[in-house]
């Protein structure tokens, strides 16, 4: 038997699931090959750790704590359902009011303003002096001040 075959069979050897002939061959190879013996020993330690982790010590208060958490969660879920009913009712009502306020504001903004137009006409001659300040004051006078 070579080392590669042993590596494939080592799990079955450790669980004693091989035939009697294969078990003897594997045991013989392990006595002859030091590397495979070390590998088999490491696999045994690994399986021991896994077996210890599979069956943890049972805490005697685990069930009571679990029951208390489940009861707390059930009461919290009931409160959440009560709140969700209020949210289901109030949220659409709030958004409806908000939508109506937006529509009303849009209508008010869109209405034309009541502007009264005066009948007196302003001539260009009345406006030009305000637009052309350079004629009223000379540059020299402006710079001196």
3-state SS of the chain is CCHHHHHHHHHHHHCCCCCHHHHHHHHHHHHHCHHHHHHHHHHHHHHHHHHHHHCCCCCCCHHHHHHHHHHHHHHHHHHHHHHHHHHHHHHHHHHHHHHHHHHHHHHHHHCCCCCCCCCCCCCHHHHHHHHCCCCCCCHHHHHHC
Residue 137 lies in a domain: no
Q: Span 71-93, mean pLDDT?
A: 76
Residue 118 lies in a domain: no
**CA–CA separation, 29 and 49 (whole Å):** 25
Query: Is pLDDT above 90 for 102?
Result: yes
pLDDT band at 103 (very low <50, low <70, confident <90, very high): very high
Query: What is this structure's pTM?
Result: 0.38
Q: In which domain, by residue range, is 71 found?
A: 61-110
Q: Span 98-121, mean pLDDT?
A: 82
Q: What percent of the chain has pLDDT over 70?
A: 74
Query: Is pLDDT above 70 for 27?
Result: yes
Residue 8 lies in a domain: yes
Q: Are residues 22 and 65 in the same domain?
A: no
Number of domains in the chain: 2
Q: What percent of the chain has pLDDT over 90?
A: 11
């Amino acid at each position: 038997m070579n080392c590669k075959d042993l590596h494939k069979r080592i799990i079955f050897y450790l669980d004693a699931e091989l035939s009697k002939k294969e078990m003897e061959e594997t045991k013989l190879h392990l006595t002859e090959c030091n590397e495979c013996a070390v590998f088999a020993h490491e696999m045994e330690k690994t399986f021991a750790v896994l077996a210890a982790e599979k069956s943890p010590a049972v805490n005697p208060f685990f069930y009571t704590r679990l029951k208390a958490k489940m009861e707390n969660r059930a009461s919290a879920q009931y409160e959440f359902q009560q709140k969700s009913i209020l949210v289901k009712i109030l949220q659409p009502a709030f958004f409806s009011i908000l939508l109506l306020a937006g529509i009303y504001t849009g209508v008010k903004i869109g209405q034309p303003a009541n502007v009264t137009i005066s009948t007196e006409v302003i001539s260009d001659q009345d406006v030009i002096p305000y637009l052309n300040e350079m004629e009223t004051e000379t540059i020299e006078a402006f710079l001196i001040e």
